[in-house]
Amino acid sequence: MGAKLKPLDQQVVVVTGASSGIGLATARAFAAAGAAAVLVARNEVALRDACAEIEAAGGRAHFVAADVGIAEEVARVREAAIARFGGFDTWVNDAGVGIYGDSLEVSLEDHEQLFRTNYFGVVHGSLEAARHLKDRPGGGAIINIGSILSDMPSPLMGPYVASKHAVKGFTDTLRIDLQRQGAPIQVTLIKPASIGTPFPDDAKNYLDTAARVPPPVYAPEVVARAIVHAATHRVRTLTVGGAGRALVATYNAAPGLADRLFGAAMPPLSRRKAPKPAADALHTPGQDGQVRTDAYGSRPFSIYTEAQKRPAVMLGFALVGLAAAMAWRNREALREQAGPWMRQGMDRIPWSRWTGTPAGLQTTLH
């Protein structure tokens, strides 16, 4: 039995990690589309301000201050959503924390705390959502926020990478288990690339400088739009940012080479010339209330991400790519059979743009 996803103006949506970054951008996007939003995070003051802003703009919002790493507090979120709005239709697991540092330097206490939020927060939220949506007419959607680091490694971020691999594994298995039970629940995994949120400044930082996400950087609203899309469309997985997809493709095609490239390039790209913040949000709430970082800019749009929302467009791109690859492989034979005027035209084709070089992929898949 498939989920019957409601129009947004008929939905109630729970968003964890909603006090800043992607979570706050997502809560605003849902509210602007007419959905009632239940905002969840540890910072009660930031949540209260966010709800007041949404309601002042004519939206519907409610907040619950809770730590997603604690199962009992997530159960309280479910109860609050039912008490306030009579239930919910979509649950977005976005809450996440980070650590920058060599894997050998990160303390076990910090490593475990990150997993309590990033992995067990997703588990707690998914289970509470599934228990409610199984019996809700039409079912609903569970949307988990992974990362392109669910599919590849990155130096200086070992615990974070591990947690996102775990989120992917749990999400994919949960989808199968719910299908086996005939539950009317869509399970979606969203995998953002580098996003321009305050995440690096909120992360626990073992480096000697401030941290950042490697370029190119996409705006949090690009992810928010992908999440909102998944709440009303059948989406299994969606990668946000074509540059991230190119990195994953490079790793899958040549992991040994990618290890050396990532090891050389990622550490300097993960630092910025500024003092690192005095505090972090790993064990206690951060200041929150901010969607974007002021340290660097971000791209407001991703052609690749928008194309994924339209399967026919993706199929068209695939067919064009296949035709270009076949033409490249057989270009000499085609030239032999072509007339003089066609030979002249073929000689003008910039074949190198279609040969799948990493530079070409980085340029074309925005």
Residues recognised as catalytic? 160
Give the residue among 22, 8, 59, 18 at the shortest CA–CA distance from 229: 8
Q: Which is it for the CA torsion 227, 232, 235, 236, positive or negative?
A: positive
Q: H or E stretch including 242?
A: helix 242-253
| Measured distance CA(110)–CA(106) in Å, rounded | 7
- Cis peptide bond prior to 153, omega within 30° of 0: no
| Measured distance CA(214)–CA(247) in Å, rounded | 12
Q: H or E stretch including 337?
A: helix 331-337
Burial 89-113 (b: 16+ CB within 10 A, else e): bbbbbbbbbbbbbeeeebeeebbeb
Longest dimension (CA), the chain: 76
